[in-house]
Amino acid sequence: MLAPTTTQFEDNSKQEGFSFVFYCDKCGWQWQTGFMPFQTQGFQLPIDEVIHGMLWTLQHRQAYENANREAGVVFNRCRICGDRFCDDCLLHAQLSTCGDCLENSED
């Protein structure tokens, strides 16, 4: 499983489906994925608990990886520290540098 794009994230998944929230590493601005419903893959309800668990785990992993990739587009990576920031916190987007790293490089 991929490491989360941002330092802080929440997994708000339930039995009915999957949802994730990612936070800017600096200000905490949040970006939430859309809800992705759990699919029984053609199995008739009620399905065996083992099959349900396997399907849910597989779909959860896929939903997380898709959400994580989307978050990688939403949040900018500082080229120096590697943290992820919202557009407002990446002060110098053309330099791909966060404010803290820019200040430290000027010292």
Tens of pLDDT, residue by residue over 80-104, are 888 888 888 876 556 677 777 877 7
User: What is the reported pLDDT for 104?
Assistant: 73
The answer to whether 40 and 53 are in contact (CB under 8 A) is no
Alpha carbon distance 48, 96 (integer Å): 50
* Measured distance CA(15)–CA(71) in Å, rounded: 23
- Strand, coil or helix: 70: helix
Cα–Cα separations (whole angstroms), residue 25 to 52, 82, 100, 103: 35, 10, 12, 17
The model carries a pTM of: 0.82
